Amino acid sequence: MARWCPSPNFGPRPDGASISLLVVHNISLPPGQFGGPEIEDFFCNRLDHAAHPYFETIAGMQVSAHALIRRDGSVVQFVSLLERAWHAGRSSFRGEEECNDYSIGIELEGADDIPYSPEQYRALAEITGIVMAAWPEITPDRLTGHCDIAPGRKTDPGPAFDWSYYKSELSTVLNAMELA
């Protein structure tokens, strides 16, 4: 179950937009540090930019994600999956521009080069299974990283993200859902 922490950084999806992509991201604030309230504060436009030198570099940015998976696997939801979260920026997937219009963005509390926890992979697989059941256009080949939709601009979820492990966890979840 996700904890609700509403972000003001969202909008309606364009008319006719079909939810058909899931994008995996990572975030840590300050970079490489975990467990604090800063990610939630950032997504809710209440980050104290004077609290850390890095925060000054992101002052004025208005971003969000549909959900954040903390290191312990707990989930914080910021935007309804039906709405357009501001997670991808300028992006393209297989020639289709503006991925925010048709994607769901899931942030992992982490950094490109720090391994993610088993609890995060499990939670991500569970969320992915629920999303895939609700939006069948999201198939395993439409699960992607931020680095793949904004190459040269973004690097997350980074080389520490184990796509094979994630897909294995997802397979377990999908098999269990079929049995239910």
Mean pLDDT by 10 residues, the chain (180 residues): 96 97 98 98 97 97 98 98 98 97 98 98 98 97 98 97 98 90
pTM over 0.95: yes
How confident is the model at residue 180, as a pLDDT? 66
CB neighbours of 11 closer than 8 A, spacing ≥ 6? Answer: 83, 84, 86
How confident is the model at residue 102, as a pLDDT? 98
How confident is the model at residue 179, as a pLDDT? 78
Q: How many domains does the chain have?
A: 1
Catalytic residue among 38, 83, 98, 107: 107
Half-sphere exposure of 65 (CA within 13 A, CB side): 23
DSSP at 82: T
Which structural domain range is residue 90 located in?
Answer: 2-179
The distance of Cα 14 from the centroid of its chain, to the nearest Å, equals 20
CB neighbours of 124 closer than 8 A, spacing ≥ 6? Answer: 24, 69, 106, 108, 166, 169
107 noted as active-site residue? yes
What is the rounded CA–CA span in Å between residue 3 and residue 99?
A: 25
CATH at residue 134: 3.40.80.10
What is the rounded CA–CA span in Å between residue 135 and residue 62?
A: 27
